[in-house]
Amino acid sequence: MISVRCYGLLIAILVTPSFFAAQTTPQSAPPTITVSVDATDAQRKIFHAHLTIPATPGSLTLYYPKWIPGEHGPTGPIEELTGLRFTGNGQVLNWRRDLLDGWTFHVDVPQGVSLVEASLDYVSPTGRDGLYTGALSATDKITEIAWNTLILYPAGWTSDELSYETTLRLPTGWKSGTALPIASQSGPEIKFKPASLTTLVDSPVIAGEYMRVVPLAENPRQEMDIAADSAAALDVPADLFDPYKNLTDQAFKLFGARHFRDYHFLYSLSDHVAHFGLEHHESNDSRSGERYLVDPELRLLAAGLLPHEYVHSWNGKYRRPADLTTPNYEDPMKDDLLWVYEGLTSYLGDVLSARSGLRTPEQLRDSVALIAAKLDHTPGRTWRNLQDTADGVPSMQGAPPEWESWRRDLDYYDEDVLNWLWVDTIVRQQTAGKKSIDDFCHLFHGGESGLPEVKTYTFDDVMNALNQVAPYDWAGFWTVRLTNHTAGAPLGGIEGSGWKLVYDETRSELFRDEEHEGDEVNASYSIGLLLKEDGRIVDTIEGMPAAQAGIGPGMKLVAVNGRRFSGDVLRDALRAGKNGSEPLQLLIENTDYFRTFNLNYHGGEKYPHLVRDGSRPDLLTDIIRPR
Ligand SMILES: [Zn+2]
């Protein structure tokens, strides 16, 4: 999964204690549940579902999915579950929500009732607030159906054991894409083949008025199913998709096997839906802005998104931390191995983005430079180690961007790009260039190609696999990486691969694109100030000039050296003040009061880049070379 930081505030999700209530005695065979979803009101952002659930008299415990795979927390959007009603033999049944777990419902099933009928509505949020599939998922032209938002399931069975027979009705004329096998389709009504609850929840549907299907590979079939808010957003030349064809080929060469029947990149292009990527075994649900295909600047920003989600089919779905492999959606997940699940995925996704041609080598290096610079200016590292950024996800992933450098972000993504690059360079050094991360991927994620399956792992399994590729003190390496409290970013991989992190006065293409798309001005590496184009201060970096002068998040920069603030005015002032003696004067508004702060800063503008270190061999260029 990848969340996109610059798209509005995310709502904090609180962890509630899990509660396992008294359950009806499981029947001898797992039940088959039917669910029919009416999405014809998608444009109103309300979805209707009707389920039939076999039951026995007594108290029937039903769960609304709470811990959503790939979302790493109790993010099931329970507050959007509405219109809940149960009947049996035509009679309305009493129900009550569990007092300790709001995702759990107890239904009174009277004698003589063997089938409970449940109807419910899922109301999709109308704004971008919310996390992942629980955020806005329907526009006038697009919808994404995440089945976990539309179903209930009975206690007493695993999600593998429960079987669902599912139908879906779409708005007339809309097309759709999904990895969920289809039994038949008649106009807007799709009947799916029976599937386990696991497969159902893992197989979302994208649908819309404007859709483009792009075949990428055959045997097995791999395709992009792209829905957009306009026809114009899909009007790009066919060769624009060549890097994605390369991606399927390069990934197979990296892993040596595939673990899906077929694969669908479900890609939504809309300025209204929430922007993120969510992985599945045979598909991914990825969402960017409407013009992300047609606009080269935006295309560069999203270049790593689909490779990351695709890599998850191997790393996250096929190979999965045991702590994240739960039998249902009620048992809590433990996120301690996200530095493998997400961190290695981020590294491999970045490597594949370059090997496939989605990024040039220079663009890939710029991306690594941005990661390294941000982590090198994250003073929160001194109180919070990398392991805690993973452990804390269920309660912390909705944190706001203000104070991010002191709180720390979800750093097990980006920091582990640097750490796994370091691993790659150590493997190469230890084996005199004979082995690389590719050998680890073949060993750990490869095996026989075939149907989706889950092979769990622990910390020791990862260390053992690394040791099989190249004997080394991997447990010691990772223990230090995960538990240290040093202030600086881990740069051993950049340096070991023959490059250096430097700062100069020129913004890279990627740096400017990120500022532009985020409506931000990023002076983090000069005066430690990140702000919006309208002057609102998002973050100040503890220990750097802006924070030292007394400026903090939530204040507003009004004027620089007596002139109204803009990005250009601030950059001009930084440049003019370099090597001078006059302080940088910032007029700041704070809760209706105005004050001028003087920063004794004369270092000029500073933006990160990677440059070659001629004293070492250039391993990075080989790492990202197409296979
Ligand atoms: Zn991910």
- 72 Cα–ligand 1 center, Å: 10
Which pLDDT value is given to residue 248?
98
Q: Cβ atoms within 10 A of the Cβ of 381, count?
A: 24
- 276 Cα–ligand 1 center, Å: 10
- 610 Cα–ligand 1 center, Å: 25
- 598 Cα–ligand 1 center, Å: 42
- 278 Cα–ligand 1 center, Å: 7
Instruction: Give CA separation, 497 vs 72, 194, 344, 345, 476, in Å.
Output: 32, 49, 17, 19, 21
Q: Is 207 in contact with 243 (CB distance < 8 Å)?
A: no
- 95 Cα–ligand 1 center, Å: 37
- 307 Cα–ligand 1 center, Å: 10
Which pLDDT value is given to residue 131?
77
- 71 Cα–ligand 1 center, Å: 9
What pTM was computed for the model? Answer: 0.95
Rounded Cα distance, 452 and 247, in Å: 20
Which pLDDT value is given to residue 127?
77
Which pLDDT value is given to residue 27?
53
- 338 Cα–ligand 1 center, Å: 9
Taking 70 as the pLDDT cut, the residues of the chain under it are 1, 3-27, 128-129
Which pLDDT value is given to residue 129?
66
- 335 Cα–ligand 1 center, Å: 13
Which pLDDT value is given to residue 541?
98
Rounded Cα distance, 552 and 542, in Å: 9
Q: Which tokens sit at 235?
A: 């009007």
- 309 Cα–ligand 1 center, Å: 6
Which pLDDT value is given to residue 24?
45
- 413 Cα–ligand 1 center, Å: 8
Which pLDDT value is given to residue 463?
98
Q: Report the 3 state secondary structure along 516-552.
A: HHCCEEEECCCCCEEEECCCEEEEECCCCHHHHHCCC
- 367 Cα–ligand 1 center, Å: 17
- 21 Cα–ligand 1 center, Å: 33
- 472 Cα–ligand 1 center, Å: 27
- 79 Cα–ligand 1 center, Å: 25
- Whether omega for the bond prior to residue 220 falls within 30 degrees of 0, making it cis, is yes
- 284 Cα–ligand 1 center, Å: 10
- 432 Cα–ligand 1 center, Å: 32
